[in-house]
Amino acid sequence: MSLYLRPLFFGLLFVFFSNSLAQSPVISAERSVNLKTVETSPLLYEFHRLTTTDTKRHYYFPRRDSSWRNNEAEVEKSALLRFNNKRGSLAASLIGGVEYKSSETLADTIFPSIDGGLYLRGYIDSVEFMLDARIYNERHYNSTPKSFDREFLEHQKEENNSGFEYTSYARYRGHFAINMGFARLDFARDVMHWGPGYYNNLSLNQFAVPFNSMSFELQLGPLSVVSFYGDLLIHNNSMSMQNKKSRNLYGHRYELNLSNWVLGISELQVLYDNNKPWLFVPIVPLFMEKGNYSENSNNGSLSFDVAYHFLNLGRVYSEFFLDDMESPISLIRNDNIEAKWAWMAGLQLGHDFRIWNRLLELGSIVEYARVEPYVYSHFHPSTAQLAHLGYPLGNQSGPNSQTIDWTIYSRFDSNWNLSLQSKWLWKGDDYGSAVNDTTPTSNHMNLPKKFVDGAKMEYSLSPSLSYDGQYVAFLLQITLFHDEKIYTRLGFKW
């Protein structure tokens, strides 16, 4: 069967016409590679809701979904196992699927990729929790398989398994949150997404690799304050001895909601082989506290974002990210590598229609991002980079890159999703283009900056079609022209 017919074949294996309902007490980032559920793009349509309604807007995720508990009896009535009383509720489902994946960059085809596990969610008094834990087994056609989702995988050789060769690994995401009326304390394994952008957020980005964290959220009228700690790994092989050294991340986000305007400040600080729990306190200004520790063992950033919502038809937004600078003048001149900054701007338009008494959600997102050389890096490799498992926490194109993303998306009857994404990428290959490229500690002002010097434009087009049912989901996504990929999944939740 041909490369493109095989995924279509899986899509024709079922027809389930039932509504898909949100089934988690947490609004989380997209699960763009692994641990996919029966909802294809939940965060995309959360942003669509923020664009097309007068609801109060917050631009930090994961976040509590307070509507889940109110609708829990209806939402969870189809769970495989459900128990509830006056104090709480527990719902459990079996979840899994089969996938076909092929990637030009990895030079590999993965089929079959089979996953299965348990999805738990519920609450006890003021405590809410969810856990999605699965085991994966895959067949890779490359003799040296690489991880499709950039996390650890274990390859079982045929000589050790009676002639059967396969790759296996486990993945999970989870939240255990305590709601205290005035605040929320959340222990989680997930990925954080701060700011109004969808694709190109610069401080914390939803397409980064998930990590373990603890967060504390306060809401005081129009002001929201989030403080968190994250446990990061240094080397891209999680079992590497380099990961015996610690990389600790602290971050604060201050967000002010002024009707149609939302203003945000995000600050991060990474400590290498060192830890200072004091940084978790929400009122501690990290960009000031940074000066109290060894420069070689800590790294920090500060970003400012703004979003304006208009006419329930659109929102326009921007973010400026500052990694380092010698002085404000050097930042304006932008002529040497000490000026480490990034900028992003975007526009989202959306509208809801009624066709045959069914809901059609239609919208478009366009974003531009510019990330200067050496952003997210540090003085010495594999130390205090703003990265996890070798990948940036922020914009996934990394330092010395320029990106334009344009997506048209639609969802019909809360089930059928159709989107088309175009991406234009310029990625430099000079020194300073990777997170582990070190910043020289001397002669900063004498080293000229080269931004995407000589980089060729790389264009990719990614059409996507999916069906989100109550029990079954199907996804087909193809990337054409640059970094060609094909990804298809037939999944279930019961």
How far apart CA 92 and CA 115 sit, in angstroms, is 17
pLDDT of residue 153: 87
pLDDT in single tens digits along all 494 residues of the chain: 444 444 444 444 443 333 444 578 999 999 988 899 999 999 999 999 999 999 999 999 999 998 999 888 888 888 999 999 989 999 999 999 999 999 999 899 999 999 999 999 999 999 999 999 999 999 999 988 888 999 988 877 765 555 567 789 999 999 999 999 889 999 999 999 999 999 999 999 999 999 999 999 999 999 999 999 999 999 887 777 778 899 999 999 999 999 999 999 999 999 999 999 999 999 999 989 988 888 889 999 999 999 999 999 999 999 999 998 777 777 777 877 888 999 999 999 999 999 999 999 999 999 999 999 999 999 899 999 999 999 999 999 999 999 999 999 999 999 999 999 999 999 999 989 999 988 766 565 567 788 999 999 999 999 999 999 989 999 999 999 999 999 999 999 99
Ranges of H-type helices in 5-129:
5-11, 42-52, 66-70, 72-75
pLDDT at 19: 43
Half-sphere exposure of 395 (CA within 13 A, CB side): 38
Q: Spell out the SS3 assignment of 223-270.
A: EEEEEEEEEECCCCCCCCHHHHCCEEEEEEEEEEEECCEEEEEEEEEE
pLDDT at 444: 58
**Rounded CA gap, 334 and 359, in Å?**
49
User: What is the C-alpha to C-alpha distance for residues 478 and 467, in angstroms, rounded to an integer?
Assistant: 15
Report d(CA 211, CA 228) in Å as an integer.
12
- What is the number of alpha carbons within 13 Å of residue 463 lying toward its C-beta? 2
Q: Are 391 and 150 in contact (CB under 8 A)?
A: yes
Shortest CA distance to 32 belongs to which of 464, 470, 480, 482? 464
Predicted local confidence at residue 7, as pLDDT: 47
The DSSP secondary structure of 31-62, one letter per residue, reads --SSS--S-S-HHHHHHHHHHHS-PPP--EES
The residues near 359 (Cβ < 8 Å, ≥ 6 apart) are 352, 353, 412, 413, 414
CA dist list (Å): 144 to 159, 237, 269: 15, 14, 36
Cα Rg, the chain, nearest whole Å = 23
What is residue 409's predicted lDDT score, i.e. its pLDDT? 98
Distance of CA 479 to the CA centre of its chain: 19
CB-based contacts of 260: which residues, under 8 Å, 6+ apart? 308, 309, 310
CA geometry: angle 408, 410, 412, nearest 5 deg? 170
341 close to 331: Cβ distance less than 8 angstroms: yes
Determine the Cα–Cα distance for residues 391 and 389; give it in Å rounded to an integer: 6
Three-state DSSP class for residue 277 = helix
What's CA 430's distance to the chain center, in Å? 27
CA distance 52 to 348: 10
Instruction: Give the global pTM.
Output: 0.92
What's the pLDDT score for residue 15?
37
